[in-house]
Amino acid sequence: MRFHDIRIIYEKTNLIYNINIEVFQAKINRLKYFYTPDDATQTVLSNFIKHAAELTQSAHSLPWRHEEQNDLQALERILADFQQAIKEMALASQNTVALKKQIAELDGQDAIQRFRDDIAAQPLGLSEYQRADDIAYLSAALKQLASVLYQSDTDDAAKALDTRYQAAQHAYQAVLPTLPAETHGLLDALWRYTQRYVALHQEHHNAMATLKKTENSVKVGGDKSSAVIKSLIASIKDQNDRLAYGSAYITLVIGAIAVLIGC
């Protein structure tokens, strides 16, 4: 019977150790995926928790105490939520990556300088040219604020960009009727570019907020899993200690008897 108990404890210890390794690896890869969001890293992260869930399911083949059964059931629920959180983080990450690519494409277009070159070729008076160039200046200022938002990703930077954009929009609408109709196409193209640039950076800021929220859900899944695993490890250790104490006690008794009978 004692050998059977020892084997059960060994199997439990080995199983929980393997589950713990999978969860630990997932917790490490969570940060890796957050900072280097690619499909390969996401797949590795998902597979760690998928395997942990499979191992937890296999635990039902072993005998457990009532409180241990409760822990295992809780761990199954947590790992299911963990997997869902990873899926949501993946969607948020993919959205963020897509926005970054669109922003990079716009950055590659020298729309402001092209507008200035095209306006310079128009037969405008000095005051008209200056008013047109004011729009180019507004566009450049908005791009600068958008870049600050992209780098800092703070709500204050988002508010500063939105406030400046609203003022610039009114200024553009006021200037447009004062310039020759021949320039309106150029102005419209520049302003559509500017609007798109600002909108993408605002979307990126919102997407990053969603990504951080989903990443935190993944972190919580890891922390909750570790807490339950810790409880299971403590319970198994307690059984192991009791068994080891019992074995030592029996050995001591047998030794005492041997001394008494002169063996």
**pLDDT score of 251 more than 90:** no
Give me the pLDDT at residue 3, please: 67
What distances in angstroms separate CA 85 from CA 49, 128, 201, 218, 226, one per listed residue? Answer: 11, 56, 25, 5, 16
Please give the pLDDT value at position 2.
Answer: 61
Q: Per the structure block, which two tokens stand in for 25?
A: 């690896």
77-115 b/e (C-beta count within 10 Å ≥ 16 → b): ebbebbbebbebbbebbebbeebbeebeebeeeebbeeb
Residue 258 — pLDDT band, cuts 50, 70, 90? Answer: very low
Q: Which domains does the chain have, with CATH numbers?
A: 2-102+211-260 (1.20.1440.210), 110-207 (1.20.1440)
| pLDDT tens column, 43-102 | 999 999 999 999 999 998 999 999 999 999 999 999 999 999 999 999 999 999 999 999
| Residues 176-208: tens digit of each pLDDT | 999 999 999 999 999 999 999 999 999 999 999
| SS3 per-residue string spanning 179-197 | CCHHHHHHHHHHHHHHHHH
pLDDT digits (tens, 9 = 90+) for 3-53: 677 788 888 888 989 999 999 999 999 989 888 888 888 999 999 999 999
Top pLDDT among 256 and 223 is at: 223
Taking a C-beta distance cutoff of 8 angstroms, is the pair 22, 48 a contact? yes
